[in-house]
Amino acid sequence: MSAAFAIDLTDAETFPSRRTEAWKYSDLKRWLRAAPEPSGTAAVGPPGPFYDLGGEAIVFANGRAVGVTDFIASGEQTLRLRYISDAVGTGHTAGARVSARAGAKLLLLETHEGAGSAYVAHNTLELDVAAGAEVTRVVLVEEPEDAISIAEAHVKVEAGGVYRQTIVTTGAKLQRIETRITHYAQGAQVQADGLYLLNGSRHTDLTSVVRHVEHDGATSQLIKGVARDTARGVFQGKIVVERGADGTDARMGHHALIASERAEIDAKPELIIYADDVQCAHGNTVGTLDESALFYMQQRGIPADEARALLTQAFLIEVIDRIEHEGAREVAREWLTARL
């Protein structure tokens, strides 16, 4: 059942370039011509942003597992999944496998915690959500501005399962966060949200593919982003409704703000529908901060920078508000607020 991850950091031949359509906006080959030297060991350091929410933990430090790499949830559980990078100019790969048994309720709190510089990280996750299980995955990603990272998650949602994810990232030199969800539907629900807040010359690429293979499944996706300075935000969202997946209800929205003339947003929403009797919708907008709101706030005494931060937060917070779990939602809210 284990899905293959095509990229192998030890083999430069596997690095996609913009000639591959799915990597058009994130040319890995351009930034990474040769396989990086393997990273050495790293200390685990501080306990990570989700520590206070407790639960079990899977921890990788520069790709090395500190303890287990696999986790099977039953009943109601919390798992912190931490990908820690602390390296200079080297590369490492980490892979975790998580599954939620039938009826289990799992809160999966994932962090990508980067220190050092110019490292290359490849972090993967295989996640199975069994029939009737419920998984909420919240991902916070913070990496140095010169790091390269690829995070790939392959998620399988069985009939009647519930899977919700929210990715919150501040980008890196080249960052790709890819999620592939196979949706067995029959009442199963998927939420695939995310937000990005990019400064400087950072780049992030939120790519997702949700494949509805059975009938009567629902997918809802809300991605919001802000690109400042010369940053570049990429959203590629694909929803495929296979033949026979009738009764699918899929909604996708991507809304971004460009906060500088030199920033860039590339968005590619795709709905591919082979079934009849489906409801699918997508919306995509790219705009700027509302100048009249900005003036109004300044007129009342709020300095320009503070007004911009408040408007930016107000724009992005909708994604955080959709996080079902209150504790995780508050951690994500504080994490974002501290980075505005």
Binding site for another protein (CB under 8 A): 290-293, 295-304, 306-307, 310-311, 313-315, 317-318
Choose among 188, 190, 187, 185: nearest CA to 214: 185
Smallest gap, in angstroms, from Cβ of residue 217 to another protein? Answer: 30
140: tokens are 């916070």
Please give the radius of gyration of the chain, using alpha carbons only, rounded to the nearest integer.
19
How many whole angstroms from its chain centre is CA 257? 18
Pairing of strands 56-61, 64-65: antiparallel
**DSSP string for 96-109:** EEEEE-TT-EEEEE
Tracing tokens 């798992």 back to the chain, one arrives at: 79
Smallest gap, in angstroms, from Cβ of residue 224 to another protein? Answer: 11
- Alpha helices, H only, the chain: 28-31, 291-299, 304-321, 326-337
d(CA 108, CA 221): 18
The residue (of 43 and 293) whose beta carbon lies closer to another protein is: 293
The residue (of 232 and 255) whose beta carbon lies closer to another protein is: 255
Choose among 132, 111, 121, 102: nearest CA to 48: 111
Smallest gap, in angstroms, from Cβ of residue 308 to another protein? Answer: 12
The residue (of 125 and 195) whose beta carbon lies closer to another protein is: 195
The residue (of 65 and 294) whose beta carbon lies closer to another protein is: 294
The residue (of 13 and 305) whose beta carbon lies closer to another protein is: 305
The residue (of 117 and 313) whose beta carbon lies closer to another protein is: 313
The residue (of 2 and 292) whose beta carbon lies closer to another protein is: 292
Smallest gap, in angstroms, from Cβ of residue 338 to another protein? Answer: 17
- Burial (Cβ within 10 Å: 0-12, 13-18, ≥19) of residue 281: exposed
Smallest gap, in angstroms, from Cβ of residue 225 to another protein? Answer: 15
The residue (of 58 and 311) whose beta carbon lies closer to another protein is: 311
The residue (of 230 and 298) whose beta carbon lies closer to another protein is: 298
d(CA 145, CA 170): 9
192: tokens are 């695939």
Do 91 and 35 form a contact (C-beta atoms < 8 A)?
yes
Smallest gap, in angstroms, from Cβ of residue 307 to another protein? Answer: 8
Distances (CA, A) of 273 to 55, 107, 223, 224, 248: 40, 31, 21, 24, 10
Do 141 and 170 form a contact (C-beta atoms < 8 A)?
yes
Smallest gap, in angstroms, from Cβ of residue 296 to another protein? Answer: 4
Smallest gap, in angstroms, from Cβ of residue 219 to another protein? Answer: 25
Smallest gap, in angstroms, from Cβ of residue 133 to another protein? Answer: 33
- Any residues with CB less than 8 A from the CB of 181 and at least 6 apart, and which? 155, 156, 157, 163, 190, 192, 208, 209, 210, 211, 219
